[in-house]
Amino acid sequence: MADLHFLANPARFRRFSRRVLPALSIVTAVALAVGLYWALVVAPPDYQQGDTVRIMFLHVPTASLAMGGYLLLAALGASLLVWRHPLAALMARATAPVGATYAAVCLVTGSLWGRPMWGTYWVWDARLTSFLLLFFLYLGHIALSRAYDDSERGDRAAAILAIVGAINVPIIKFSVDWWNTLHQPASIMRMGGPSIDPSLLWPLFWMMGALALLFATLVLLRTETEIDRRRLEIAENQD
Amino acid sequence: MSGVGALFLRDLRLVWRRPGDVAVVLAFFVVATVLFPLGIGPETNLLARIAAGILWCAALFASLLSLDHLFAADYEDGSLDLLLLAPWPLELAALAKCAAHWAVTGLPLAILAPLLGVAFGLDDRSLLVLALTLLVGTPALSLIGGLAAALTLGARRGGALLALLALPLCVPTLIFGASAIEASATGEGFMVHLAILGALALVSLATLPWAIAAALRQAGE
Reported as a single tens digit per residue, the pLDDT across B36-64 is 889 988 888 888 888 888 999 999 999 88
Nearest to A179 among B155, B175, B203 (CB): B175
Quote the pLDDT of residue A1. Answer: 43
Q: What integer best gives the mean pLDDT of chain B?
A: 89
If DSSP codes are grouped into helix, strand and coil, which group holds residue A50?
strand
Q: In angstroms, rounded to a whole number, what is the distance separating the alpha carbons of residues B221 and A94?
A: 24
Q: CA A9, A14, A18 angle in degrees (round to 5)?
A: 150
Kindly determine whether residue A171 and residue B152, on different chains, have CB atoms separated by under 8 Å.
no
Quote the pLDDT of residue A177. Answer: 77
- Alpha helices, DSSP H, located in chain B: 2-17, 20-40, 44-65, 72-77, 79-85, 90-101, 107-119, 124-151, 158-185, 191-220
Whether A110 and A129 have beta carbons less than 8 Å apart is answered as no
Could you tell me if B204 lies within 8 Å of chain A, comparing CB atoms? Answer: no
Tell me which chain B residues have a C-beta less than 8 angstroms from the C-beta of A164: 147, 169, 208, 211
Quote the pLDDT of residue B134. Answer: 94
Could you tell me if A157 lies within 8 Å of chain B, comparing CB atoms? Answer: yes
Q: What is the pLDDT of residues B145-175, one digit of tens each?
A: 999 999 998 888 777 889 899 999 999 899 8
Quote the pLDDT of residue A7. Answer: 66
Could you tell me if B161 lies within 8 Å of chain A, comparing CB atoms? Answer: yes
Provide the chain A residues 19-78 that lie in CB contact (below 8 A) with chain B.
none
**Nearest residue in A to B165, CA atom:** A140
Alpha-carbon distances, residue B61 vs A188, B19, B28, B65, B95 (angstroms): 33, 19, 9, 6, 21
Tell me which chain B residues have a C-beta less than 8 angstroms from the C-beta of A161: 151, 165
**Nearest residue in B to A163, CA atom:** B211
Quote the pLDDT of residue B77. Answer: 87
Whether B93 and B86 have beta carbons less than 8 Å apart is answered as yes
Q: CA A60, B166, B85 angle in degrees (round to 5)?
A: 125
CA B23 to chain centre: 15
Identity at B46, one-letter amino acid code: L
Kindly determine whether residue B169 and residue A164, on different chains, have CB atoms separated by under 8 Å.
yes
- How large is the average pLDDT for residues B175-201? 87
* Chosen from B151, B153, B176, B186 to mutate, greatest number of chain A CBs within 10 A: B151
Whether B29 and B72 have beta carbons less than 8 Å apart is answered as no
- Alpha helices, DSSP H, located in chain A: 10-37, 56-83, 86-118, 126-145, 151-183, 198-238
Which residues share a beta bridge with A50?
A46
Quote the pLDDT of residue A93. Answer: 93
DSSP for B75-88, written as a single string = HHHTHHHHHHHSSS
Quote the pLDDT of residue A2. Answer: 45
The total of structural domains in chain B comes to: 1
Alpha-carbon distances, residue B35 vs B42, B50, B58, B99, B174 (angstroms): 11, 13, 10, 30, 20
Quote the pLDDT of residue A185. Answer: 46
Kindly determine whether residue B168 and residue A171, on different chains, have CB atoms separated by under 8 Å.
no
Give me the interface pTM, i.e. the ipTM. Answer: 0.86
Could you tell me if B107 lies within 8 Å of chain A, comparing CB atoms? Answer: no
Between A238 and B142, name the one with better pLDDT.
B142
Quote the pLDDT of residue A6. Answer: 60
Which residues share a beta bridge with A46?
A50
Could you tell me if B208 lies within 8 Å of chain A, comparing CB atoms? Answer: yes
The low-confidence residues of chain A, meaning pLDDT below 70, are: 1-8, 47, 181-196, 239
**Nearest residue in A to B207, CA atom:** A164
Whether B48 and B121 have beta carbons less than 8 Å apart is answered as yes
Quote the pLDDT of residue A183. Answer: 53
Could you tell me if A10 lies within 8 Å of chain B, comparing CB atoms? Answer: no
Could you count the other beta carbons within 10 Å of the beta carbon of residue B43? 11
Quote the pLDDT of residue B188. Answer: 77
CA B158 to chain centre: 18
Q: What is the pLDDT of residues B14-23, one digit of tens each?
A: 888 888 888 9
Quote the pLDDT of residue B45. Answer: 84
Kindly determine whether residue B214 and residue A160, on different chains, have CB atoms separated by under 8 Å.
yes
Name the residue among B146, B210, B133, B140 with its Cα closest to residue B177.
B133
Q: What is the pLDDT of residues B65-98, one digit of tens each?
A: 888 788 888 888 888 888 888 888 899 999 999 9
> In which domain, by residue range, is B164 found?
2-220
DSSP for B119-137, written as a single string = HTT--HHHHHHHHHHHHHH
